[in-house]
Amino acid sequence: MPLWKQLAISIALIFVALCSWVYFSPGAGQTLVSMGVPQSVVALVSGQPDGEGQQAQGQSAQGAGQGQGQGQGQGQGGRRGGNQNILVATQPVTIGVVNDRLSAIGDGEAIEAVTVMPQASGTIAEILVSSGQKVKKGDIIARLDREEQVILRDQAAVALRSAKEKAESYRNLQSFSRLDVLDAQIAEEQAQLQLTTAELNLKRRDIVAPIDGTIGIVGVSIGDNVTNTTAIVSLDNRSQLLVDFWAPERFAAAVTPGMAVEASSVSRPGQVFKGSVEAVDNRVDEASRTIRIRAKIDNPDDVLRAGMSFNVVMRFPGDQYAAVNPLAVQWDGEGSFVWQIVDNKSVKTRVTIVQRNSDQILVDSSLTEGDVVAVEGLQRVREGGAVEVAGGDRAGTEEVATR
């Protein structure tokens, strides 16, 4: 189809749609006139003379003005005749506490923990303990080979006997000078020291427990060659556990040694372990602004292990602030405030928010416990305005909500 035919059909369709809109929509003609379309053309399309259209529009405008005037008059009359008191729902101010609880995550360690190493080098000849066994201080855990040390001890014992007999002979016989007798005594003392050294070296072939505790997994086997830096086994005294945790610096002055703590572990849900603060660090970490605290908790049933994580809780007297309903707090250009109800009058009381909770807001203000603040119906409340308190919390809330 040629382009001019497409344009002609499009213009015709637009004209038909425009005529239909003017004919069926009463306000369409006035819209076209305001857009610059001649009144005669609009009247021709709508099928209504010019005078009648203008008259109808005038009557419509007059009716709208009368309706508006009547509505405003009735509304103003209703307000003038109505009750001037604003209906509000109120709640009393309570007291809330902040900074009364410290909760932190800490890591536990045994009150005494030792990694046992031999005092000499050699070959493991015997292992006398197993993992999980409880031992006392001085119990033998393992032994190194000792044949050479036994021989050296016996040699030192023989040398000591010889030195003693020689010194005794020199003392009994008058043919020896005092210098010879003194040399014999010195030789005896040296032989005694050599025997003591040989016995010490033999004793060090036994690997003993330095503390009371529980044996961990033994890290060596019989026949292994070890040195004095080889870890034989870990030994923990876990009758009590030390728990290190970090607290915000605002608690630095509040926490002192001896304060009670409560600790719970994920391995023992629902069970709380009692303890006390063992030590408080002498400085605050500059990066995290926290201070390190060490607590000591009892483990009488041996159910806790070193390395466990603990949720540590401490309780303090805390700071007391006025607590109000979250709906009571309003804002303006100067900040936050509440409407305090005094003698059925509304008083704007400035507040500073300290802490937000789900059911209340703690504020720093002149409010005291028992003061009454408005929580609903606040849209029309003004400074010094008369208010009417809804009867009962539940009924008042529902009545305000319906207004």
Q: What is the pLDDT of residues 207-225, one digit of tens each?
A: 999 999 999 999 899 999 9
Domain interval for residue 28? 3-74
Per-residue model confidence (pLDDT) at position 75? 40
Domain membership flag for residue 277: yes
Cα–Cα dist 280/290, whole Å? 11
Same-domain check for residues 326 and 395 = yes
Greater pLDDT, 75 or 135: 135
pLDDT-based confidence at residue 402 (cuts at 50, 70, 90):
very low
Instruction: Say whether pLDDT at 187 is over 80.
Output: yes
Per-residue model confidence (pLDDT) at position 361? 92
Greater pLDDT, 81 or 143: 143
Residue-by-residue DSSP string for 122-158: EEEEEE---TT-EE-TT-EEEEE--HHHHHHHHHHHH
Cα–Cα dist 202/192, whole Å? 15
Same-domain check for residues 214 and 260 = no
Lowest mean pLDDT among 62-66, 298-302, 308-312: 62-66
Same-domain check for residues 279 and 336 = no
Same-domain check for residues 250 and 191 = no
Per-residue model confidence (pLDDT) at position 267? 85
Choose one of 295, 318, 341: the last residue of a domain. Answer: 318
Per-residue model confidence (pLDDT) at position 398? 39
Per-residue model confidence (pLDDT) at position 8? 79
**Contact (CB, 8 A) for 233 and 129:** yes
Same-domain check for residues 326 and 308 = no
Cα–Cα dist 158/156, whole Å? 5
Choose one of 318, 340, 360: the last residue of a domain. Answer: 318
Cα–Cα dist 353/321, whole Å? 10
Report the SS3 class of residue 376. strand
Greater pLDDT, 12 or 219: 219
Closest CA to 246 of 285, 276, 278, 297: 285
Per-residue model confidence (pLDDT) at position 114? 93
**What's 204's domain CATH number?**
2.40.50.100
**What's 246's domain CATH number?**
2.40.30.170
Q: What is the mean pLDDT of residues 44-54?
A: 51
Both tokens of residue 27? 């306000």
Same-domain check for residues 172 and 130 = yes
Lowest mean pLDDT among 91-105, 110-124, 135-149, 338-352: 91-105
Same-domain check for residues 123 and 220 = yes
Domain membership flag for residue 81: no
Both tokens of residue 25? 């929509």
> Which residues, 6 or more positions from 355, have their beta carbon under 8 angstroms from its beta carbon?
96, 98, 321, 361, 362
Give CA torsion, residues 247, 251, 256, 258, to 10 deg. Answer: -60
Per-residue model confidence (pLDDT) at position 17? 76
Q: What is the mean pLDDT of residues 65-69?
A: 41
Q: What is the pTM of this model?
A: 0.55
Greater pLDDT, 392 or 121: 121
Domain membership flag for residue 79: no
Instruction: Say whether pLDDT at 393 is over 70.
Output: no
pLDDT in tens, 259-268: 999 999 888 8
Q: What is the mean pLDDT of residues 16-42?
A: 68
Q: Tally the domains of the chain.
A: 4
Sign of the torsion angle spanned by Cα atoms 272, 274, 278, 281: positive
Same-domain check for residues 304 and 324 = no
Per-residue model confidence (pLDDT) at position 174? 67
Give percent of the chain with pLDDT exceeding 90.
Answer: 52
Give percent of the chain with pLDDT exceeding 70.
Answer: 80
Average pLDDT, the chain: 82
Same-domain check for residues 173 and 195 = yes
pLDDT in tens, 319-353: 889 999 999 999 998 999 999 999 989 999 999 99
Please give the helix or strand (H or E) that residue 69 lies within, else none. helix 50-81
Domain membership flag for residue 258: yes
Closest CA to 276 of 257, 300, 253: 257
Instruction: Say whether pLDDT at 392 is over 60.
Output: no
Closest CA to 344 of 79, 95, 93, 90: 90
The crossing angle, in degrees rounded to 10, of helices 50-81 and 39-46 is 90
What is each CA distance from 134 to 238, 274, 307, in whole angstroms?
11, 24, 19
Cα–Cα dist 281/249, whole Å? 11
Closest CA to 323 of 375, 260, 279: 375
Closest CA to 266 of 299, 312, 302, 308: 308
**Contact (CB, 8 A) for 328 and 339:** yes
**Contact (CB, 8 A) for 357 and 314:** no
Per-residue model confidence (pLDDT) at position 48? 52
Greater pLDDT, 154 or 97: 154
Both tokens of residue 376? 């609903």
Domain membership flag for residue 343: yes
Domain membership flag for residue 32: yes
Per-residue model confidence (pLDDT) at position 15? 76
Same-domain check for residues 185 and 212 = yes
Per-residue model confidence (pLDDT) at position 32? 67
Both tokens of residue 295? 């607590």
Same-domain check for residues 198 and 124 = yes
Residues facing 237 on adjacent strands: 112
Same-domain check for residues 274 and 358 = no
Domain membership flag for residue 113: no
Per-residue model confidence (pLDDT) at position 16? 75
Both tokens of residue 243? 């728990």
Per-residue model confidence (pLDDT) at position 380? 87
Instruction: Say whether pLDDT at 173 is over 50.
Output: yes
Residue located via tokens 């603990």: 310
Instruction: Say whether pLDDT at 113 is over 80.
Output: yes
Please give the helix or strand (H or E) that residue 308 lies within, else none. none
Cα–Cα dist 240/135, whole Å? 16
Pairing of strands 86-92, 387-389: parallel
Q: What is the mean pLDDT of residues 378-397?
A: 73
**What's 331's domain CATH number?**
2.40.420.20
Instruction: Say whether pLDDT at 292 is over 90.
Output: yes
Domain membership flag for residue 311: yes
Lowest mean pLDDT among 58-67, 105-114, 180-189: 58-67
Choose one of 169, 198, 226: the last residue of a domain. Answer: 226
